[in-house]
Amino acid sequence: MIDNQQPIFQFDLRRTAILSKYIEAWGAPLYRKVANKGAQRIEVYCFTPPDSIITRYATVGVSDFEYPDAMPANWEFLLVTPGDDSDKMIDEVFGYIFDIMAYSRVNNVKLKVGLALDESPIAPISWKARGILIDEPRGEPEFLEKIHYRNQCISLFWLVPIHKAEYDSIVRSGLGEFDAADQASEWSLADPWRDSLI
């Protein structure tokens, strides 16, 4: 019997192409959260490899969106936190990633490396760094930087939690001051509980 549910079938193919790369890099995910809005489906997967001291959250389906000008969202999201997150924290992070995705769509924000988003009340409550910097997935396997699905080249954008002072610096003068402060710091950018670098 031929499967005539084409949108579902197409999403299954997209998921296979993207998720297989994640699994190659980090092993099998531990959790998944799904959001549906009309025909749109977004999935966020949580990866905590046994030999790792960090938890990764990565999306599937953000790239299956077109803006009103018919330009596709050629990206998926990666968010990294230190250590094993509690169940409550995992739910908060899942929700935060969905909110960032929704914000970019509602406000027609074309995301790119170097773009900073101001502090938000929707960030997890305990985080000290409540803004977001869009960056390349530093420290991850090179094959994750660009994922190919059909004729689409999908970037994996690292969502880096940043402080208000860091956001202001990036908006005012670009990434120079922030990158220099990062190089001089012992903090991990993945740690949303770190002090501000600026």
Q: What is the pLDDT of residues 133-154, one digit of tens each?
A: 999 999 999 999 999 998 899 9
C-alpha 53/C-alpha 84 separation (Å) is 7
Structural domain tally of the chain?
1
Residue 191, domain member (yes or no): no
Is there a domain that residue 189 lies in?
A: no
Residue 158 bridge partners (DSSP) = 78, 135
Widest CA span in the chain? 61
Distance between CA 95 and CA 26 in Å, rounded?
A: 22
Q: Are 189 and 160 in contact (CB under 8 A)?
A: yes
CA 16 – CA 18 distance, rounded (Å): 6
Residue 134 belongs to a domain: yes
In-domain check, residue 197: no
* The pLDDT of residue 177: 93
On whether residue 198 sits in a domain, the answer given is: no
38 pLDDT higher than 70:
no
Assign 90 a pLDDT band (cuts: 50, 70, 90): confident
pLDDT band at 8 (very low <50, low <70, confident <90, very high): confident
Instruction: Give CA–CA dist 50/128, Å, rounded.
Output: 27
State the pLDDT at residue 53: 83
pLDDT number for residue 158? 96
User: Which value, to the nearest 10 degrees, does the dihedral of the CA atoms of residues 181, 182, 185, 188 take?
Assistant: 150
Whole-angstrom CA distances from 23 to 27, 52, 92, 119, 154 are 4, 14, 23, 31, 17
Number of H helices, E strands in the chain: 4, 8
Containing domain of residue 121, as a range? 6-184
Calculate the alpha carbon distances from 13 to 18, 31, 110, 146, 148 in Å: 9, 20, 25, 17, 12
The answer to the question of residue 83 being in a domain is yes
Q: Which pLDDT band holds residue 87 (cuts at 50, 70, 90)?
A: low
